[in-house]
Amino acid sequence: MADTTGRPPEDVESLRAEIARLNKVVQALVNHAERSMSEHSDFGLFQATIVLEDRVRERTRALEAALHENEKITRDLQRTKQQMEREKEAQRELIRKLEQAMTQLVQIEKLASLGSLVAGVAHELNTPLGNSLTVASTLKEHVQAFARLVESGEALRRNALLDFIAHCRDAADLVEKNSRRAADLIGNFKQVAVDQTSVRRRSFDLRQALDEVLSTLQPKLKHTGHRLEVAVERGIVLDSFPGPLEQIVTNLVTNSLLHAFEGIEAGVIRIEAAPTGDDRVALTYTDDGVGIPQALAKRVFDPFFTTKLGGGGSGLGLYIVFNLVTAVLGGTITLSGRPGRGARFDMLLPRVAPLTANTGEESHAA
């Protein structure tokens, strides 16, 4: 096993072996000098031996100091390695918490979008329901007046009967018209809400799904000069996830209203779609707003990137769009356009979504 300093263990062992060898050499020289002195009394040889011994000892001390320093470095590196392991574990825990926070924020953003949808539909329902209530109250008054006329025993004139019938017919038409409008709004909202909350997979007509979600977005545009144009033929059937698709459209429209049309009184949002001939659908979303500067275009799909921080922007709208297009629907999305000439989002979506799509929950049939 290699030493943590990068120096193989054999280097340390070789230092120890060298020290041991030098000690043996010194001892051998000392023994030799002592024998020589006893046999020949050669003081010069003894003196040379002493000098060599000193040098060997100096070398030995240097090697021992190097060995001690190497051991110290080894201990320091071992402590550093342990500290790095602890820091790595802390970083992994921090990343895990950040991922959990990101998931929660994305869910909050989706729920906020759905909440805005609920508020808009509820406000829109006030008109047809209010009209129906007014008509019903008026009709009730006419019925009571007619009942009093009948109960009075007076002869009914033809004109009075015809007027009553006309009032009833008009009231019935108005109630039916407003009730149908309310039913359509509720039906579309229910479909969109169920799709978005369950992320269910089913076969659906692209134009119908767009109409449903755009009808729920009309309250956002009702009191503005902006308008929506849809150029999508019926009959483009997808086996995919309508909820994420509707969420994509909702986020793009919201992004245009919040960013693209700032300072613009009458903007146009246009949605187009057409089959590509390779089992995919080209879905294009454009607006004629202020556009996105080139310096920012590369970051629009990054999480938490927004130019409206504190002004209604969370920085998660287009991040969610990118993830839904790529991870759930199995498609691609690109941004183009120039400042002052609006923005364009081009999406290529498979007509049959991948079976391995990451929906965040188990899909189920409609």
pLDDT tens track for 132-166: 888 888 888 888 888 888 888 777 788 888 888 88
Cα–Cα distance measured from residue 33 to residue 143, given in angstroms and rounded to the nearest whole number: 141
Cα–Cα distance measured from residue 216 to residue 29, given in angstroms and rounded to the nearest whole number: 102
How many CB atoms neighbour CB 274 within 10 A? 13
In the 8-state DSSP scheme, what is residue 226? -
The H or E element that residue 161 is part of is helix 158-198
Largest distance between two CA atoms of the chain = 168
In the 8-state DSSP scheme, what is residue 309? B
What are the counts of helices (DSSP H) followed by strands (DSSP E) for the chain?
7, 7
Cα–Cα distance measured from residue 333 to residue 283, given in angstroms and rounded to the nearest whole number: 9
Cα–Cα distance measured from residue 232 to residue 204, given in angstroms and rounded to the nearest whole number: 14
In the 8-state DSSP scheme, what is residue 303? T
Report whether 334 contacts 321 (CB < 8 A). Answer: no
The whole-number pLDDT of residue 361 equals 43
Cα–Cα distance measured from residue 79 to residue 263, given in angstroms and rounded to the nearest whole number: 61
Cα–Cα distance measured from residue 297 to residue 333, given in angstroms and rounded to the nearest whole number: 13
Report whether 301 contacts 324 (CB < 8 A). Answer: no
State the burial class of residue 102 (Cβ atoms within 10 Å of its Cβ: 0-12, 13-18, 19+): middle
Which among 291, 292, 316 has a CA at the least distance from the CA of 305?
316
The whole-number pLDDT of residue 4 equals 46
Cα–Cα distance measured from residue 233 to residue 211, given in angstroms and rounded to the nearest whole number: 12
Q: Provide the 3-class DSSP secondary structure of residue 204.
A: strand
Q: Provide the 3-class DSSP secondary structure of residue 200.
A: coil
The whole-number pLDDT of residue 2 equals 45
The H or E element that residue 105 is part of is helix 43-151
State the burial class of residue 147 (Cβ atoms within 10 Å of its Cβ: 0-12, 13-18, 19+): exposed
The whole-number pLDDT of residue 278 equals 83
Which residue type sits at 337? Answer: G
Concatenating the DSSP letter of every residue in 246-287 gives HHHHHHHHHHIIIIITTT-SS-EEEEEEEE-SSSEEEEEEEE
The whole-number pLDDT of residue 43 equals 60
Q: How far is CA 95 from CA 91, 98, 101, 319, in A?
A: 6, 5, 10, 19
Q: What is the pTM of this model?
A: 0.52
In the 8-state DSSP scheme, what is residue 325? I
Q: How far is CA 284 from CA 29, 34, 344, 360, in A?
A: 93, 101, 7, 25
The whole-number pLDDT of residue 281 equals 95
Per-10-residue mean pLDDT for the chain, 366 residues long? 51 72 72 61 63 77 83 87 88 81 64 62 74 84 84 78 86 84 69 56 92 83 87 94 88 86 88 91 93 78 62 64 87 84 92 71 36
